[in-house]
Structure 1
């Protein structure tokens, strides 16, 4: 059994999805491991990780629309729709700061992914994405831990 721990730096274009699949596959290839587990951890509180559709970009647009609907930029209001809108208290880095933290809390910041014969085990239409929840571009750090043989 062998393990490697490394970092992956990704620059995002602002809110949206960055496909990590090729970067992760490159990490597996350079490790020399054939079978094992890749543990991926996002080291930020305003972006997240997801395994999702890679063939139809409308899926990613719909996911963004849904998350914007349940975590609006302007603040929070009772789910019933009745009552006043309350702006978020935390806005240290701008108006998209707190919504990004909530969106991260509702999604995932780590993923465990299997690989065999030196290849990530993903379904035909799946890819691994970093989901940026902030409006402007960011440099994001991910921890990549490979364990296997």
Structure 2
């Protein structure tokens, strides 16, 4: 079985957002898969996807603080500055974290660890809605 669809995520403020439930709700086809894989591709260059702590929201705010310190805005050597001071750092963060995940599906559910959740990293101040291409394969 193969299934592919676009999932449209609502606009979110800058930061890291837990989207696991939103992904699962958008894909009722997951329930039909005994053993399979779900590939998620975020179709943007200024946001990211990553898998991490799903219980304590301070982890997400710490992620934001860490990446803002690691990839600061307004560095004098940046050349790509036409779209605002958050744009080039957003591209860096997207490349560092990545824009895709490959996740196992077992008995109709994502087979994640107890404390794992899917994060959308929104790296722009006003990034807008985001699109994810979800490709599900399995039996």
TM-score computed with the length of structure 2 as normaliser: 0.92
3-state SS, counterpart of residue 114 of structure 1: strand
**Unmatched segments (≥5 aa) in structure 1:** 76-85
Runs of 4+ in 1 over 6 A off after TM superposition: none
Provide the aligned length of Structure 1 versus Structure 2. 138
- State the distance in 1 between where 2:3 and 2:131 align: 16
* CA pair 27-148 structure 1, distance change in 2 beyond 3 A: farther
For the 8 Å contact 2:16–2:64, the answer to whether it is kept is no
Given the alignment of the two structures, is residue 46 of structure 1 paired with residue 36 of structure 2, yes or no? no
> Rg larger in 1 or in 2?
1
The answer to whether the 8 A contact 1:52-1:127 is kept is yes
TM-score, scaled relative to structure 1: 0.86
Deviations 1:75-108 (A, max 9, x none): 1xxxxxxxxxx24211222111111011111111
* Equivalent-residue separation in structure 1 for 2:22 and 2:92 (angstroms): 27
1:137 Cα deviation after fit: 4.4
Mapped pair 1:146 → 2:136: yes
Residues 39 and 144 in structure 1, CA contact (< 8 A), matched pair in contact too? yes
Matched-pair contact (CA < 8 Å) for 1:12–1:132: no
Cα drift, residue 5 of structure 1: 0.9
Unaligned runs of 5+ in 2: none
Aligned to 1:19: 18
Give the aligned partner of residue 122 of structure 2: 132
